[in-house]
Amino acid sequence: MPHDTQLIFADHVGRFYARQYGFPPMAGRLLGYLFVCDPPQPTIDELGDALLASRSAVTGAVKLLEGYQLARRTRVAGERVDRVSLDPVSRQPQNFDSAVHREHAALFREGLALLADAPPERRAPLEEMVALAEFLSERLPALRDEWHTHRDELRRSGALPAPHN
């Protein structure tokens, strides 16, 4: 794949992650580039050169992506540089964590308590957020299990490659 098309893809991912998740554009660009770069485990300096970014911008983006378990740094024995790659955990369904939604519901219930004497129309947005968060916390474990079953079927059929870490 030509380098220009890799950068275009990285830019598209960067814009998507900035818009949807509030990521700094550099972090999204780095994530996109890690999906398509060759070699698949570049150094920080190689990433800076490829993405036309400073070492500090790349390092900051790597730290952010590590925090989300989307990227990881490794060091090969004998080398004095870190290599950056996609974190295998990132392909796990992290957004299926029902505990986040239970916490979300509790937070909005706290807001409802502040509006205990408020008219129904004032309480309605918080009540809907509580209902949504509770719904998601109840449904996501089953959806995660369905995804694992579906993914395993795709792997058995050869439609998805087996994981290799």
Domain ranges of the chain: 3-90, 94-157
Instruction: Could you list the beta-strand ranges (E) of 54-161.
Output: 71-74, 83-86
Whole-number Å distance between alpha carbons of 131 and 136: 9
Token couple for 43: 């150094």
pLDDT in tens, 4-34: 899 999 999 999 999 998 999 999 999 999 9
Element of type H or E holding 139: helix 120-157
Residue 157 has pLDDT above 90, yes or no: yes
pLDDT in tens, 56-114: 999 999 999 999 889 999 998 888 999 999 887 666 666 778 888 999 999 999 999 99
Q: What fold characterizes domain 3-90?
A: Arc Repressor Mutant, subunit A (1.10.10)
> Count of CB atoms within 10 A of residue 32's CB?
23
Cβ neighbourhood burial of 1 (10 Å; 0-12, 13-18, 19+): exposed
